[in-house]
Amino acid sequence: ANKGGQRFLLKRLAIGQAVPDEVAALLSNDKAALTALQHVGLPTGLQLFHEGGFLYTVVDHFEGQTLLENVYPHRSQNDGIELGQCIIPSLDHAIRWAFHLVDILWYLHGQKPFPIIHRNINPLTVWVEYSTRHLRLADFGLTNSFQRVAEKSSDGSPMKPGGFASPDLLGDGWGDVRTDIYAFGRMLDFLFSAQYRRMP
């Protein structure tokens, strides 16, 4: 999104026409908690509001590209992967990115009195910043707290965000930090499986 010459990242979620008072209060509480976070890998400038049956989250834009675009810049429109089109990250980059991501999750999960769980870590929500080559999250995963739906990939393709979601996300694991840890493991597989393609 673009407003007044400034660029923003906008996420919208349909929540129906009526927004109960408790949801509005939750939005206010979550915004206060999230805007207090200070980490180089997290979004800044959070705006959170509901209007016309939709929940909107807006954060400041930064120059970068998704991890998916970074590794598969020539992927087809239907998100099919051709191995020859993969730009394999160096082992050094893959290791540094893994440490960046675990540092972000460690910070979020260490918040008191309750951990902040993203629930949607995948190569589309994790970005590589151009200037630093560090990983950043595109959002806080906040809308996933209101939409208990995890898209599942029927073919197990790593290109589909649902393929990174914990199978227990809709069950008892909804409020468990292990949902993010599972996604982190899938992200490691995404980063390091490309290394195997170098091997004869």
Backbone torsions φ then ψ of 8, nearest 5 degrees: -135, 160
In sequence order, what are the beta bridge partners of 113? none
Which amino acid is residue 33, in one-letter code? A
CA distance 52 to 64: 31
CA distance 98 to 100: 5
In sequence order, what are the beta bridge partners of 49? 56
Give 143's DSSP letter.
G
Strand order in the sheet with 54-60: 2-3, 6-14, 54-60, 47-51
Q: What does the pLDDT profile of the chain (200 residues) look like in tens digits? A: 555 556 777 777 676 655 556 566 666 767 778 888 899 999 888 887 777 777 777 888 788 998 888 887 765 444 444 444 667 678 888 899 999 999 999 999 999 888 888 888 998 899 999 999 899 998 887 666 555 444 444 344 444 555 787 777 766 667 788 889 999 999 998 888 754 444 33
Judged by phi (left if over 0) then psi (alpha if -120 to 50, else beta), residue 4 lies in: left
CA distance 181 to 119: 9
Report the predicted TM-score, pTM, of the whole model to 2 decimal places: 0.77
